Amino acid sequence: MSTTATRPRKLALDPRRAGMGRTLATAIVTLVMLGPILVVFWLALRPRLYTDITGPTLETFVYIFAETDILLWLKNSAMVSTLATIISVIVAAPAGYVLSRGRGGAVSAYSLFIFVLQSFPVVVFVIPLFIMFASVGLVDSLSGVAIIYVASSVAVACWMMSAYFDTIPVTLEEAAWIDGCSVFGGFVRIVLRNSLPGVLSTAIYAFLLAWNDYLVALVFLRSDDRFTLPIGLQTFFQQNQTDWGPVMACAVVMLTPPVLIFALLNRFFSIGGIGGALAGK
């Protein structure tokens, strides 16, 4: 007589409960991450001391724009960050192309050099750079700070561009070469033209690195009219007390440009622009 073993039945998970669990976990993580930002906005909208206003108000924002040099700090930060971003992308694009397409010992040594260079923190180079820049008149200069920002971001920018260039088939360039295009022409017309998401990602990285920097600006900028936003923010801190309203209002102003830039460029972060280039292969 044969007996058949009964297999244990698997409990079926309710997909609605699983979806609700994932949604709840995502909401909790999002709330925890947005908590500090919400506190910043709450303190910025809170009435200042010695006023009769009880609800949220823009009084603190009116104060920082009327009584402080925040517009000057904003202009300096925008100039330095934009200049550093443009130069970083211009340098990183061809360098990343060499890392992506090049083969040989020289390219490997170049890649290793970039990796070793990026492994050192910026604080290691601050004092030597200060001595060198003082001898050529670049201390207390926005252009000198921009040069340091470019040097700080170009290594990672090269890797980012190289990683995106690797996703573009070499056959597209080979087809362009057969049609008489030069190597540089193929890079500009084929590779770079189809690398907008990679270029924008690299540009945003370089921009945020320069926009949020505090250490380099603190060491190299001396004059009040050359302060950037992170350095201007510290002027609100006093020895015995701190008026947190202007500090948080300045933080909101500092937060706004990167958010606006990402919101405007978000629609360009799409991959697949060359998806039909190899049709029929």
Question: For the segment 84-99, what is each residue's pLDDT rounded down to a tens digit?
Answer: 999 999 999 998 898 8
What are the tokens at 271? 């991959």
Q: Assess whether pLDDT exceeds 60 at residue 271.
A: no
Over residues 238-251, the pLDDT tens digits come to 767 777 888 899 99
Are the CB atoms for 164 and 95 separated by under 8 Å? Answer: no
pLDDT, residue 245, reads: 83
φ/ψ bin of 5: left (φ > 0), alpha (ψ from -120 to 50), beta (otherwise): beta
pLDDT for residue 119 is more than 70: yes
Which has the minimum average pLDDT: 68-72, 129-133, 274-278?
Answer: 274-278
CA 29 to chain centre: 22
- Asked if residues 89 and 157 have their Cβ atoms less than 8 Å apart, the reply is yes
At position 99, the amino acid (one-letter code) is L
Radius of gyration in angstroms for the set of CA atoms belonging to the chain, rounded to a whole number: 26
CA 230 vs CA 66, 133, 215, 251: distances in Å:
19, 21, 9, 9
d(CA 210, CA 84): 7
Q: Report the distance separating Cα 105 and Cα 95, nearest Å.
A: 16
* Gap between the Cα atoms of 261 and 203, Å rounded: 11
Q: Given pLDDT bands bounded at 50, 70 and 90, which one contains residue 221?
A: very high
Structure token pair of residue 66: 């009327």
pLDDT at 233: 87
pLDDT tens digits, one per residue of 21-66: 788 888 898 888 888 888 888 888 887 766 666 778 888 898 899 8
Q: Which residues contact 37 (CB under 8 A, 6 or more apart)?
A: 255
The yes-or-no verdict on residue 183 having pLDDT over 80 is yes
- Domains contained in the chain, CATH given: 2-61 (no CATH), 68-279 (1.10.3720.10)
pTM over the 0.85 mark: no
